[in-house]
Structure 1
Amino acid sequence: MTGSEAFEPESERVTRQLRDDILDGVRQPGSKLVERELAAELGVSRLPIRDALKVLVTEGLVTPRPRTWAVVREFTSTDIADLNEIRTPLELLTFRLAAQRRTRPGLEKLRSDLDAELEAAHTGDAVRARRAAADFHRTVTSLAGNELLSELERTLRSRMRWLLAQHDDLMAVANEHEALYAAIAERDIHRVEELVVKHLASSRGAAAARRRRPQSS
């Protein structure tokens, strides 16, 4: 690891830790995020905690409260509908461009993401499978080769990762990604579009089913 790779500002490390905790389900929706308590828990001063919470508010994962605390956002049905309205045209465009513009190194990275997801799904490791699924989508965006699209993806990344995590059938998602990988590799744009529509429908159904399920105490 190079020095530049090894160095990570404390505020960025704390932001990444809290983001992962939220998206991996460690910190549940509605949970309080109190600066003083988080600073003691993570062994840092309150400044990086404050900076991290500001970033997570911007990313749409945290809802601010007065003074020195916030809560993990509880996504409503309207929030999810709004996300899906944005996600549908963006993913259709992203996957279409990826199929048109994919490169050999890009396909190798996409295959690596997919293999990591398949392995985690086979072993039932939900956290690793969902992180790899998010990596798969991020790599597809890079294959699309459109900087403005990449900028939009970065803005929505955390909320889209949250949406992906609503799907409990890890193998179903991995298998859908494997079919998408094959279509991208073959530059089969019509097939890619077909599969994206099915993938989005599957995701919407999974999110709706999860919301209908009684919450465990």
Structure 2
Amino acid sequence: MIIDGKPTRTEIPSYDMSSAREAILNCYCHRDFFRKSNIKIEFFDDRCEIISPGGFFDGLTLEDALNGLQSFRNENLVKLLYKLEYVENYASGLTRIFQNSKELDIVPEIYTSLNMFKVTLPNKNYEALYLNPEKHIEDNKVKSNGRVNSDINEEDFQLENQKDIEILEIIRDNPGIRLKEIAPKLKSKYPSINSNIIYKRIKILDSYIEFRGIPKKGG
């Protein structure tokens, strides 16, 4: 998300929606319905994993599929999705994922075995959000006199990291809270979070926080 002074904010999706759509449709077209397992879509900081039960069908390989060779485990379902215009062209989904990703300068990963087929899509915003967030926030930050003690509005603060928003909300709602008391409030949602992580985030969010009392100890 970029806020540049215009009436509306500019959204920067973390994932190419066309590639995600193709990967999810691929799951429904080719999953093994005899396996007692569900299609899984999991999000991590740096990637999204889309997992389908069952690997390639009838001896097909990844190279074969990328070269346009067809092999249908669920032929009637594929035909139905094609008639409903969810599927645009038989055996073109994986090729389209790689083409879209190449245009965006990102590299998807494909893993396949007898039991599963997994597409991993990189988070396009990962570097900006997690590897160099200080520069990202500084480059896009809205100049404002607002402080945490006033209402926090995601459109007023250039914070794409959900943890940062929640940290600020905790400080706002708990005046005088100490740094070591913040992590336990987030532990259920972010099990790996600790006081060291909070400290690093607080340093980045310094311009949004009004410190009172002993420096850097209270909210």
**Does the alignment reach a TM-score above 0.5?**
no
Which structure features the higher share of strand residues? 2
Which structure features the higher share of helix residues? 1
TM bucket, shorter chain: under 0.3
TM-score normalised to structure 2 length: 0.28
